[in-house]
Amino acid sequence: MSRTQISTLVNTTQTVTAQVNYITYANGQQIIKLTHVNINNTICNHCWLYNSNLATNFKFKKSQINKQITFTATIDTYYKVRDNKKVLDYCLTKVDNIQFI
């Protein structure tokens, strides 16, 4: 899935609301899957947050799964490989002001 619906928001800072769905670790860093993501009234079914995307050091806890969250983030681009082809996708970086609601 490519989050093309937020392509017009690249390089802007937006307020995001979402639900914490899953917390895991890979290569020594925490990875958070968010679902029900709302960015500037545009809905994405999911996105991932990595430690490197966070503006400040923040650790999510298993007890926060299924909790609603709000934060600010800058919309950025990256390439992923799907079916041996490079695909442009969109991500959240500089994640800050994390609050549970």
CATH value at residue 61:
2.40.50.140
- The fraction of the chain above a pLDDT of 70, given in percent, is 98
The total domain count for the chain is 1
Q: How far apart are CA 69 and CA 78, in angstroms?
A: 24
The pLDDT, as a whole number, for residue 1 is 44
For the segment 4-54, what is each residue's pLDDT rounded down to a tens digit? 788 889 999 999 999 999 999 998 899 999 999 999 898 888 999 998 899
The pLDDT, as a whole number, for residue 36 is 94
The pLDDT, as a whole number, for residue 21 is 97
Cβ neighbours of residue 73 closer than 8 Å, sequence gap 6 or more: 13, 14, 16, 39, 53, 92, 93, 94, 95, 96
- The fraction of the chain above a pLDDT of 90, given in percent, is 68
Q: How far apart are CA 2 and CA 90, in angstroms?
A: 7
For the segment 42-82, what is each residue's pLDDT rounded down to a tens digit? 888 899 999 889 988 889 999 999 999 999 999 999 998 98
User: Could you list the residue range(s) of the whole structural domain that residue 79 is in?
Assistant: 4-100
